[in-house]
Amino acid sequence: MRDRVPAAIVTVGTELVRGLRLDTNTAEVASALWITGYDVAETVSVPDSVDAIARTMSRLVDTYPLVVVTGGLGPTHDDVTREAAARALSRPMEREPSLEKALLTRGPGHTDPQARAQMLRQAELVSGARPIAPSVGTAPGQVIATGTSTLVLLPGPPAEMRPMVREFLGSGHHAAHVRTLRCLGITETDAQLAAQAVLGNSPGIGLTVLATPALVDVVLFDEGADDPALDEAATRIAAALGTACYSTDGSTLAETVLAHARSTGDRLATAESCTGGMVASALTDVPGASDVFAGGVVAYSNDVKTSLLGVPPSTLAAHGAVSEETALAMATGALGLGATCAVATTGVAGPTGGSPDKPVGLVWIATASRHSQGTAREYRFPGDRTGVRARATAHALDALRRALLVP
């Protein structure tokens, strides 16, 4: 294994340790550090308390050559990371005139003296710190060399933090030595056993399998292996996983579907009942989706299924909204949006609306296409409303992917 430099990450915020807010900064900084050649050994969240932050900083700068802290650099009363760093390192704080000037120029023009004084707290530097100018927002970052460690303070809002992470890590970083094989329709254990069977005891290749309710990622990373060895292992494992593996280059399922459609010259549309717009959202989340995505109908009521998608009222009456026949009619109707390949979802997401005959979790997914006869498949998804909708969305995208594979 190439020598990675140990590092730690601290995220600051009472809202984090109380569970009021999900911490996304840790994952984002961790990923940037890994790619740049660091090995994050520990991540910690602490409340907005000078004591707690200072104690954690002291422990970590004594242990790791790099400690990155996010949060608590803003103007409000509970932003105390600056004070904590000063205390942890036994250094004074200094008001930096150039930062003060930048704040008065860039910041919101507070006429209220209290708001103005609060805002100017952001010009306080731990003595000896190098400031990182903000490209978004007003709070500067700080890089502090302690002698044995580097302590980096970054603002908490992700949009403000992100450009600073890039700045202090520099652009001359190692390339990532990770391969991700993304799968759907296979269990975590089966994916792991399949990958292990291929790897045997390949030295130098690490394996992690990550599962969400609908998706399974097989992640290979270097523990000494070089790029060609990783590529070769990824290719062989992808072959073993078969059509369950939808991407080997890190693309999401939606990105894969759009790329397929671009290459086949297809134009896509969606007709959603139980997923309520999530399939269209996932597709349009990808930049440039408008090339191949015409649009969709969220057909929540039966009237909309009939008026916009042309589902015959007799079909709804005879088979119900959650049925193979309705799913097929919805998909066929969605071709009318100017599409050559369309997917439809209709199901019982819960928690109410289930019956012995059509329980919560029952979902029909259908595709219609210029390539072939329409097809529909029944699913019985476990989980609550959120889980059923997430699984139905993933399988709807996968149904589109498979429909586009048919020549």
Among 65, 185, 204, 277, binds its own copies (CB under 8 A): 277
Least separation in angstroms between CB 127 and its own copies: 27
283 is an interface residue for its own copies by CB under 8 A = yes
CB of 21 or CB of 130, closer to its own copies? 21
CB atoms within 10 A of CB 38: 24
Cβ neighbors of 291 (< 8 A, separation 6 or more) are 258, 262
In sequence order, the 6+-apart residues with CB closer than 8 A to the CB of 158 are: 24, 25, 28
| 147 vs 265, beta carbon nearer its own copies | 265
Residue 355 near its own copies by CB under 8 A: no
**Minimum CB distance to its own copies smaller for 213 or for 312:** 213
- Distance between CA atoms of residues 359 and 387, nearest Å: 15
CA-wise closest residue to 281 among 122, 390, 187, 121 = 390
Q: How many residues bind its own copies (CB under 8 A)?
A: 101
For residue 43, state whether it binds its own copies (rule: CB under 8 A): yes
Distance of CA 23 to the CA centre of its chain: 12
Which of residues 121 and 129 has its CB atom nearest to its own copies in the complex? 121
Three-state secondary-structure class, residue 70: strand
Cβ at position 232, least distance to its own copies in Å:
22
Nearest approach in angstroms of CB 267 to its own copies is 9
Q: Of the listed pieces 229-237, 304-312, 361-369, 399-407, which binds its own copies according to CB under 8 A?
A: 304-312
- Is residue 45 a contact point for its own copies (CB under 8 A)? yes
Among 71, 72, 75, 140, binds its own copies (CB under 8 A): 75
Check residue 270 for interaction with its own copies (CB under 8 A): yes
Residue type, 359: P
Please, which residue, 204 or 387, has the CB nearer to its own copies? 387
By beta-carbon proximity to its own copies, the closer residue of 129 and 164 is 164
Per-residue binder mask for its own copies (CB under 8 A), 10-29, x = binder: ----xxxxxxxxxxx-xxxx
Residue 294 lies near its own copies (rule: CB under 8 A):
yes
Residue 26: how many CB atoms within 10 A of its CB?
A: 18
280 binds its own copies (CB under 8 A): yes
d(CA 60, CA 12): 14
Task: For residue 219, count CB atoms less than 10 angstroms from its CB and return exposed for 0-12, middle for 13-18, buried for 19 or more.
Answer: middle
Site for its own copies in 129-148 (CB under 8 A): 136
Q: 292: which strand partners?
A: none
Q: Which is nearer to its own copies, 48 or 255 (CB)?
A: 48
Secondary structure class of 198 (helix, strand, coil): helix
Nearer to its own copies, 129 or 221 (CB): 221
| Cα→Cα distances 14→40, 46, 83, 276, Å | 23, 7, 16, 35
Interface of this chain with its own copies, residues 373 to 402, rule: CB under 8 A: 382-383, 385-387, 389
Q: Of these, 114, 201, 314, 373, which contacts its own copies (CB under 8 A)?
A: 114
Question: Which residues in 154-213 contact its own copies (CB under 8 A)?
Answer: 157, 159, 187-189, 192-193, 196, 208-211, 213
Rounded-to-integer distance, Cα 360 and Cα 389, Å: 11
Tell me if 375 sits within 8 A of 404, measured CB to CB. no
Nearest CA to 122 among 143, 102, 140, 144? 140
Percent helix, strand, coil in the chain, to 5, is 40, 25, 35
Residue among 90, 30, 41, 81 nearest 64 (CA)? 41
* φ and ψ of 262, to 5 deg: -60, -40
State yes or no: residue 84 binds its own copies (CB under 8 A): no
Q: Which is nearer to its own copies, 58 or 196 (CB)?
A: 196
Residues 230-259 contacting its own copies, CB under 8 A: none
Residue number, 268 or 376, with CB nearest to its own copies: 268
Determine, following the binding rule CB under 8 A, whether residue 115 of this chain makes contact with its own copies.
yes
